[in-house]
Amino acid sequence: MFNPSFKGGVHPPENKKLTEERSIENLSVPHTCFVPVQQHIGKPAIPVVQVGDYVQVGQLIAKADGFISSNIHASIPGKIASITNGPTPASASGLRIQIETHGNFASEKTPDKIEWDKLPPKDLLEKVFDAGIAGMGGASFPTHVKLSPPSNVKIDVLIINAAECEPYLTVDDALIKRSYKEIIEGIMITRTILGVKNVIIGVESNKKRSYKTIKEYLKKIGEKNIKIPMLKTKYPQGAEKQLIYSLTHRTVPSGGLPMEVGTVVQNIGTCFAIQQAVCYGTPLFERLVTVSGSLINKPGNYKIRIGTTIADIIRECGGLKEQPHKIVMGGPMCGQAVETTDIPIVKGTSGLLFLSKEESSAGRYANCIRCGRCVQACPINLLPFEIAANIEISRPECTERFSPLDCIQCGACSFICPSRRPVSHFVKVAQDYIRSKR
C-alpha cells in the first residue's frame, strides 16, 4: 500500500500475463542481419569493414566516433553483403551493415571468467566501452559515458532500474529470474567503476518473484549496501527522474541530469551486459526482447541477435494470427510504431508488440472535457490539456508558459484521456515549435 512512488502516473492494463511465465528462449540465428550503425544516442559509429569481408561473431564492425558514441559488433558470423541505407528504428533510411551467414558457429566458445576485482576501475570502464554497451532500457545512452561522470561531480548512489513499468514487457523480469547472480555481479562492477558504495534496485510490486530472488540472494552473500525496496506498480515508474524520486526523494532539476543529485541510473539489462563484457569479454551483439501482443502465435521472451529483422522474428515466433493494426518496437506507452517489417532489432529494443485494432486504436478524438486526468496523471505536473488546446487551434506560441519542454513524453496523458485526445502528441508539436524557435 505504501510502496515508494512519485506523484502522478497511470495504471495501464499490464498485459504481462502473455509472457510473464515464459523463460528465456534463444531465437534461431537468422540468415541475414542488418546492423544499423546508429543504435545509440550520439554520433553514429563508423564502419570498419568492407563489403565482402568475413566477420566472426563479436567482431568489431563499426567504431565509436568520439566519446558519445558506441562500438558495433557483428552479431552473426558471415560475409558483409552490403553497407547501404535502409529502414532502422532511428530513421526511415539509416546506414545498415548487412551480414549474411557464412562459416560456422563452433568458434563461439565461452572464454574463462576473469577476476575483475583485481583490475583498476579504468580498465573495467575500457572493457565496457569496447563491448559497445548502450543503455538497454530504451533510450540507448552509451553506458561508458554514464559511468564516467566529470570529476567535480560527487556520485553517492547507484540506482538500478528494474521497474519495467511498461505494459507487455517482461524481459527484465525474465532476466532476473534466470541470471540474478550475473546481474548482482554486474552491479558490483558498475559500483566499482563509479566508486560508490550504495546501490538501490527499483523493482515494481508486480514482480514479486524477481524481488524475492534478489533479496534472498543478497542476504545469502551478505551484501548490505545493495537495497531493494519494492516500488508501487505505476507507469512511468521506470522513467529515470521518477525512479530517482521514488527511491531517494531527490528531485532532478528540470533539464538536468541524474548526476546533479548524485545518482547514476543503470538498467538491469545493462548490468547484465556489463558483467558479460567485463568477465568474459563478450561484446553486446544480442539482447532479450519480449515478443508479445495478441496477434503473435508464440509470444515469449527471446534472446535475439541484434540486426534480426521483424519479418524473421515473426517467422520464428510461429507467425501472426492476422494482420496486426500496429507493430510497436518497445513498450506500448512510449514505444515506436513501425511501418514495415524490414526494420532490425537494435541494442535498445526491449519489446516487439503485434497489436490488434481493439488493443491499440484510439479512434477519433473528441473535445477536451477538462476532467483534469492528464493533470493528475502527469508525473511532471504539467497542464497537458492546456498545451493541447492551444496547439489544436494553431497557437503554438501561447504554449510556452505551460513549459512543454519539461515533458518527458511518457504518454500518460494520452493514455488516460477519456476523450481519446492525442495529448502527448500535441505536446510534442509544442516542443518542436519552441525548439525550432530557439
Partner 1 sequence: MEIKLFITILFSTIFINNYVLSQTLGICPFLGVSKKTDSAAGMGFAVIFVMTLASVITYFIYKYILIPFSITYLRTIAFILVIASIVQLVEMAINKLSPSLYRALGIFLPLITTNCAVLGVAVLNVDSGFITKEFGLLMTIVQGFGAGVGFLLALMLMSGIRERLETADIPFNLRGMPISFIIAGLLSLAFLGFAGMSF
Partner 2 sequence: MDQQIYTLSLAPHTKNRQNLPVVMWLVVLSLLPSTVFAVYTFGMHVLLVILTAIFSACAAEYLFRLLLKRELTIFNGSAAITGLLLAMNLPPMVPLWIPAVGSVFGIIIAKELFGGLGHNIFNPALVGRAFLMASWPALMTTKWITFPNGTMFSSSFNAYSVLPQPALDALTGATPLAALKNVPALANSFNVHSQYNIYQTLFDISNFKALAIGNIGGCIGETSALLLLTGALLLLFTRIINWRIPFSYIATFALLIFAYYKLTGFFMPYHALVYHLLSGGLILGAFFMATDMVTSPVTGKGMLVFGAGCGLLTFAIRIWGGYPEGVSYSILLMNAAVPLIDKYCVPKIFGKRKQA
Residues contributing to the site for partner 2 (CB under 8 A): 7, 10, 12-13, 167, 241, 245, 251-256, 311, 323-328, 332-342, 353, 355, 359-362, 366-372, 375-376, 379-383, 385, 403, 406, 409, 411-412, 414-420, 422, 424-425, 428
- Of 118-126, 197-205, 255-263, 391-399, the window that binds partner 1 (rule: CB under 8 A) is 391-399
Category of 296 on φ-ψ map: left (φ > 0), alpha (ψ -120 to 50) or beta: beta
Residue 344 pairs in a beta bridge with 309
- The values of phi and psi at residue 270, to 5°, are -65, -40
Q: 23: Cβ–Cβ under 8 A, 6 or more apart, which residues?
A: 174, 177, 178, 301
Shortest distance (Å) from residue 276 CB to partner 1: 53
User: Which neighbouring-strand residues pair with 109?
Assistant: none
Q: Applying CB under 8 A, does 106 fall inside the site for partner 1?
A: no
Contact 271, 250 (CB under 8 A): no
Is 53 a residue that touches partner 1 (CB under 8 A)?
no
Q: Which does residue 114 bind out of partner 2, partner 1, none, counting CB within 5 to 8 angstroms by kind?
A: none
**254 binds, options partner 2, partner 1, none, Cβ within 5 to 8 A by partner type:** partner 2
The burial of 422, by beta-carbon neighbours within 10 Å (0-12 exposed, 13-18 middle, 19 or more buried), is given as middle
Partner in contact with 392, chosen from partner 2, partner 1, none, beta carbon below 5 to 8 Å by kind = partner 1
Write the CA distances from 265 to 48, 63, 349, integer angstroms.
31, 25, 18
Binding partner of residue 390 among partner 2, partner 1, none, CB under 5 to 8 Å per kind?
partner 1
Task: For residue 393, state whether it binds partner 1 (rule: CB under 8 A).
Answer: yes
Q: To the nearest whole angstrom, how small is the minimum distance from the Cβ of residue 368 to partner 1? A: 9
CB of 33 to partner 2, least distance (A): 15
Kindly state whether residue 65 participates in binding partner 1, applying the rule CB under 8 A.
Answer: no
125 half-sphere exposure, CB direction, 13 A CA radius:
16
- The closest of 22, 16, 77, 27 to 309, measured between CA atoms, is 27
> What amino acid is encoded at 431 in this protein?
Q
Give the one entry of partner 2, partner 1, none that residue 128 binds, where binding means its C-beta sits below a cut-off of 5 to 8 angstroms depending on kind: none
CB under 5 to 8 A by kind: which of partner 2, partner 1, none does 81 bind?
Answer: none
Looking at beta carbons only, is 46 or 398 nearer to partner 1? Answer: 398
Contacts with partner 1, 397-416, as mask; x by CB under 8 A: -x------------------
| Binding to partner 1 in span 342-381, by CB under 8 A | 367
Give the pairing type, strands 351-355 and 326-329.
Answer: antiparallel
Q: At what angle do helices 171-194 and 268-280 cross, to 10 degrees?
A: 60
What are the residues binding partner 1 (CB under 8 A)? 367, 386, 389-390, 392-393, 395, 398
